[in-house]
Amino acid sequence: MARKRTSPPRQTQAKGARVVSAYLENADVFRTAKSAGTKPKGPAVLVLKNRPDFDRRDFDRKARDLQRLGRDGALKKAPSDRDSNKVYDPSTGKRRTRTNIYRDRMIRSLTKDGRLTQDMGTPETNKYLANKNVVERLYAGKGPITARGQGYDPDHIQELQLDGTDTYDNLRPMDAWTNRQLGSDISVALRDVPEGTPVIVKVIP
């Protein structure tokens, strides 16, 4: 009986290769089906693995939620649509991503629409002071991120690419570097998976 793969594809293990945080355990099945023009049987088995450059707490929380959603049958490969989460923002009169609106709402809530600064009051009376690190990381997440801890992103608890809903109750702050790298690796892992295919998740501690 052939042994199931329990480690990333060989090319990711080569010396100097980038360590991936997500790969398909049964990737060969989907590549073969794609080249033969057939439909693969069974779900895609997405394996998530923590990386040394990730925020461990945020990765663990994300991985556990996706694992649970996969067990509940809620995950499947969704169509790619870059404009799917753009909505009308009455504060700007423009269409913006719901994630950016969520970020700005959090900042406004913590700073009382910018009226609070770090020089006013005490941590007990000033949400900005009490949550200074959160506010600064939310601001920082608007720009490029090169390492963990530099910023926060609004993250979809159930990834849009895994058929998650673009709603505010499906969003929460997450380390921006971990969020972006993990999301990119999941996208690459699902590259050969047909839309609508069920996905289950395994987690390597």
Residue 3 maps to a domain: no
48/64 Cα distance (integer angstroms)? 10
Amino acid 191: pLDDT: 95
Q: pLDDT (tens digit, 9 = 90+) per residue, 38-63?
A: 999 899 999 999 999 999 999 999 99
User: For the chain, how are helix, strand and coil distributed in percent, rounded to 5?
Assistant: 35, 15, 45
26/42 Cα distance (integer angstroms)? 10
Give pTM, 2 decimals: 0.82
* Residue 5: pLDDT over 50: no
* Residue 117: pLDDT over 70: no
Amino acid 41: pLDDT: 87
Q: Structurally, how many domains does the chain consist of?
A: 1
Residue 2 maps to a domain: no
Q: pLDDT grade, residue 14 (50/70/90)? A: very low
Residue 4 maps to a domain: no
List the domain range (segments joined by +) for residue 106: 10-204
| 139-159 average pLDDT score | 96
Tokens describing residue 111: 């700073």
Q: pLDDT (tens digit, 9 = 90+) per residue, 154-196?
A: 999 999 999 999 999 999 999 999 999 999 999 999 999 999 9
Residue 1 maps to a domain: no
Residue 74 maps to a domain: yes
Residue 167 maps to a domain: yes
Residue 42 maps to a domain: yes
| Inter-residue contact 24 to 190 (CB < 8 Å) | yes
Residue 29 maps to a domain: yes
Which one is predicted more confidently, 46 or 87? 46
